[in-house]
Structure 1
C-alpha cells in the first residue's frame, strides 16, 4: 500500500504540468512519390533511405521489409541476402524518425507510417507488375503492416509476414503501466528513456546485439511521446485482428521477452477466427523476439521461403505444428 500511494502521488504531481504528447506527421503532398537506387522519396518530399537486395536474374517475388522500433533498414541485411539468392527481391527503408530518415527520434504517427508503406507498395507494383509482393514487418514494422492493410485503397499484395509483431495493447497492460505512461506523456513528453536495467534479452545472438549497441544509427534513448505513439499503434494493430483480410504468415518465439505471450496469443485466437484468407502461425520453441536475427534465424528464413513458394502447407521447421499444439490449449 505505501508503494501504491507513492505511485498515485507521483502521477498526480506529474499531471499538473499539463503538456501533451506530440506526433510529427508529414507535410503537404507536393511531390510525386518515386524510387532511386538508395532512397524512397515520399509525396511530401521526405527522403527515406532505401536498401535493396536483388537477385542476379529477374525475381520471382518481392518482399518489402519494415524494421522495428528504434531500428532501421539494416536489420534486413542477412535475411535480404539470403532471400535474394533464392530469387526474391527485397527492399527495406528507414521509416520516419528512425535510422537516417528525417526527424530522427520523433514519432510521425501510425497513419503516416501506413501511408508511406502504401506508397512504396504502389511503386514496386508498378516496377514489378507481374510479381507477387509480400509485406514483412518485424515488431513495430509488423504492427504497421497490420494497420496498413486496413487502409482504403491499399494495393493488393500476395501476403503479409509478421515477425513478432508489436501487439502489446493498453487493454493487455497492467493499470499502473498505462497510468504512468499517460502521465509521463502528458507531463514530460520530451523525457528520454533508455530501457537500461530492464534485463530483457531480445535475442540469443549476442554478437548481433553488441553490434547494435555500437551502431550509431540504432536509437538508444527514446522520447516518452514516441513510446506513447508506439502504444497507440499497438492498440490499433491489436484491435485489427478480426478484420485482417490477407494471406498471413505470423512468426513468434516462445522465448520472446519483449512482446508478451498473453496479447500475442489473444491476437492469434481472434485472427484465426476469420475465414477470409489463409492464416499460418509458426511458433519457435527456441525463438526470441528478433526471430530474423536469432541464432536460429535461418530456420525462420527457410519457413518464409517455403510459405511464399507453397502457401499454407507444412512448414519445413514444423513450427506451425507447434503453434497449433500451443494455441489449442487456449
Structure 2
C-alpha cells in the first residue's frame, strides 16, 4: 500500500472512530406538568412541544382520526387526506413527532416508547375535545409502526380502531444478513454519519409533483443519521413482533407497487392479525405505491378509509379488500 493510500485509509478510520462518539437520541424526559392542548401544538408531560395540524369539518365531526406521519416527514403529510376526509365529516389531527418537522430535536431519534406515549397523549387530549365522536388512529409507514406499539401496549380506551397505511413492519427478522450486518457496523463505527438515499432508484409514489414539493420542503429531512435509522429498525422490530397482538378493529392498506416496505413482511403481518376476516382486514391497491394517501389514486384510498370508518363490516367501495383476500389465498396455496 502506498503512503498516499495509507494516509487516506488512516484518515477514514480516524473519521469512523471519531464518529463513534456521536450516537445521540432524545427520549422523553421526566414529567414536569400535565399534558395539554395548546394553540397549534400538543404540550407533552416533559415539556416537549409537538406542532399540531387539524382539518375540521363544518359542524360536529362524525368521527375523529389522529394521524402519525412516516420517517423524515411531518404532519403536513396529511394535508391532502385531511382536507378530503374533513369534507366527508371526519376531523383529522396530525402532529410532528419528536425528531421530525418542527418538533423537538429534528433529525435525532427519540425512542419507540416516547413515540407511542406521545400518540396516547394526543388521543387522550383530543378525545376530551371531541367526546361524542368515535376516535381512530391512522399511521403511515413509520407512523403505522407507532400506531401498532401504542395500540398493543397500554391501548388507549378511547380508540375504536386503527388504519395502517403501508405500516413499517420490516424488522430485522425479515432483512437479509448483509443489511443487518451493515447497519450494526455503521451504528457502532459511525452513528453520526448521514445517508441521503440518492442513487437508490426507489420510487415512493407516482405523484411526481408531490415528490418534487417534498424535495423543496425545508421541514422534510433529506439526510438521515445512522443512529436514527437504527432507531427506526428497532421500532420496526417491535411492530413486526407486536402486530399479532393487535386486538382493535383494523384496516391495513398496501400498494402492490410499494418499493419501500417489502411485500413479504407486510403479508406476514396481515396473515398474523388475530381477528383477520372478522374485525380486521387488509386492502390491496394494484396501482398503489408506498405513499398511498398521496398517490395519484389517493382519492380511492381515502374513500375506502371513510367508508370503513362509517361501517367497518361493509365491503370497501374500491374492492381492494377483495383483492387482498385473493392475494392471501394465493400466498397460502403457494405455502408462503
TM-score, length of structure 2 as denominator length: 0.91
**Stretch of structure 1 that moved more, 240-249 or 201-210:** 240-249
**Stretch of structure 1 that moved more, 152-161 or 101-110:** 152-161
Alignment equivalent of 1:249, drawn from 248, 251, 275 = 251
**Alignment correspondent of 2:329:** 328
Judge conservation of contact 1:193–1:223 (CA < 8 Å) in 2.
yes
Change (3 A) 1:171 1:142: same
What's the CA shift for 1:85?
1.2
Judge conservation of contact 2:17–2:190 (CA < 8 Å) in 1.
no
Alignment of 1:40-59 (within 5 A): 40-59=42-61
What's the CA shift for 1:17?
8.2
What's the CA shift for 1:286?
0.4
What's the CA shift for 1:23?
2.4
Judge conservation of contact 1:163–1:291 (CA < 8 Å) in 2.
yes
**Alignment correspondent of 1:113:** 115
Distance 1:22 1:141 in 2: 21
Distance 2:106 2:212 in 1: 22
Distance 1:22 1:147 in 2: 22
Q: Deviations over 1:71-109 (max 9, x none)?
A: 000000011011111111110000000000010101000
**Stretch of structure 1 that moved more, 312-321 or 223-232:** 312-321
Distance 1:300 1:248 in 2: 15
Change (3 A) 1:86 1:18: closer
Alignment of 1:231-270 (within 5 A): 231-270=233-272
What's the CA shift for 1:31?
1.4
Distance 2:290 2:197 in 1: 16
Change (3 A) 1:77 1:238: same
What's the CA shift for 1:269?
1.1
**Alignment correspondent of 2:8:** none
**Alignment correspondent of 2:197:** 195
Judge conservation of contact 2:257–2:289 (CA < 8 Å) in 1.
yes
What's the CA shift for 1:156?
3.4
Distance 1:236 1:54 in 2: 33
**Alignment correspondent of 1:299:** 300
Judge conservation of contact 2:20–2:192 (CA < 8 Å) in 1.
no
The answer to whether 1:214 aligns with 2:216 is yes
Judge conservation of contact 2:170–2:237 (CA < 8 Å) in 1.
yes
**What secondary structure sits across from 1:51 in the alignment?**
strand
What's the CA shift for 1:274?
3.7
**What secondary structure sits across from 1:149 in the alignment?**
helix
Distance 2:130 2:278 in 1: 23
Distance 1:153 1:65 in 2: 16
TM-score, length of structure 1 as denominator length: 0.93
**What secondary structure sits across from 1:265 in the alignment?**
helix
**Alignment correspondent of 1:319:** 320
**What secondary structure sits across from 2:67 in the alignment?**
strand
What's the CA shift for 1:37?
2.9
Gap regions ≥5 residues in structure 2: 1-11, 332-336
Judge conservation of contact 2:19–2:191 (CA < 8 Å) in 1.
no
Distance 2:225 2:20 in 1: 17
Q: Deviations over 1:231-261 (max 9, x none)?
A: 0000000001211101001100000000000
Distance 2:155 2:289 in 1: 35
**Alignment correspondent of 2:141:** 139
**Alignment correspondent of 1:129:** 131
Change (3 A) 1:15 1:173: farther
